[in-house]
Amino acid sequence: MKRTAMFLTLGVLLAGCGDQADSNEPEVKEEQEAVTQEKEMEPVEIQVLKADEENGVTLENEMYQQLSAFLESNPEVGVPGDFGVHPLTLANQTEGGQAMFFLGVNRLEQPIKNIALDYTLGVDTGDGVEYVLEKERVELLEPFAGTIQPGHAIPFTVPVTPEGAEILQSITEENKVVKLENADFELEN
């Protein structure tokens, strides 16, 4: 997933470095890249979890309405041409404790299911990394999550320790450490 983003960024940078005085080709490539990027970054829609749907929850549910509004106002959420995880907020759980609230975003052109990955979220302190979540195994299996359609996102939570919640308060874009490792999923035909 990181490679896809890295290659996309590298491709945009290389397209911008072409010698436009000698040829119109780089200009055409840039236009094609812009059209592709625009197509890929269309807003995604929220999808009700299979487990919620089986319990009678619909898109009219307040939480799903809020997530839908978030996605409409943040069309860049997700990784073009890939599955991505977007952290949202820390939430209190009904049974006590706290959990990190995420969106799993499918920007692939096919439905996916049975997603599993190791997720790391931390803060680079300069002396090392303090972790909110370290290689936390996340499994969004079909009986719970369903099959995530292309251009859709599903919500999920991951429990966070009180220490992790405290570390989360100091995260900024500059010191944030995020890793998705050992990701696997099934493409639906």
Same domain membership, residue 96 and residue 140: yes
Bigger pLDDT: 182 vs 6 = 182
DSSP 173: T
36 and 51 in one domain?
Answer: no
Average pLDDT over residues 73-100: 91
Same domain, 36 and 104: no
Q: Which residues contact 133 (CB under 8 A, 6 or more apart)?
A: 100, 119, 120, 121, 122, 158, 160, 164
Residues 58-67 have a mean pLDDT of 96
Tell me, yes or no, whether 74 and 164 share the same domain: yes
Q: Write down the pLDDT at residue 133.
A: 96
Comparing CA positions, the residue from 122, 148, 154, 150 lying closest to residue 135 is: 122
- 9 and 100 assigned to the same domain: no
- Tell me the CATH number at 126: 2.60.40
Number of domain units in the chain? 2
pLDDT at 21 over 70: no
CA 38 to chain centre: 18
Q: Are residues 103 and 18 in the same domain?
A: no
Asked if pLDDT for residue 114 goes beyond 50, the answer is yes
Asked whether the predicted pLDDT for residue 25 surpasses 50, the reply is no
- Rounded CA gap, 158 and 119, in Å? 10
Residue 86 sits in the same domain as residue 174: yes
Give the up-direction half-sphere exposure of residue 47: CA atoms within 13 A in the CB hemisphere.
22
122 φ, ψ (degrees, to nearest 5): -155, 180
CA distance readout (Å), 17 to 25, 33, 37, 38: 12, 14, 18, 21
94 and 7 housed in the same domain: no
Q: Are residues 77 and 133 located together in one domain of the fold?
A: yes
Helix (H, G, I), strand (E, B) or coil at 142: helix
Same domain, 16 and 55: no
- 69 Cα distance to chain centroid: 16
Three-state DSSP state, 140: strand
Q: How far apart are CA 125 and CA 139, in angstroms?
A: 29
- pLDDT of residue 74 exceeding 70, the answer is yes
Tell me, yes or no, whether 55 and 32 share the same domain.
no
Q: Among 28-32, 34-38, 43-47, 109-113, which stretch is predicted with the lowest mean pLDDT?
A: 28-32
Virtual CA dihedral for 58, 62, 68, 69, nearest 10 degrees? 160
**Three-state DSSP class for 10?**
helix
Checking if the pLDDT of 148 tops 80, the result is yes
CA 44, 84, 123, 165 torsion-angle sign: positive
Quote the tokens at residue 183: 């990701």
Q: Which residue range(s) make up the domain with 25?
A: 2-40
Whether 119 and 28 map to the same domain: the answer is no
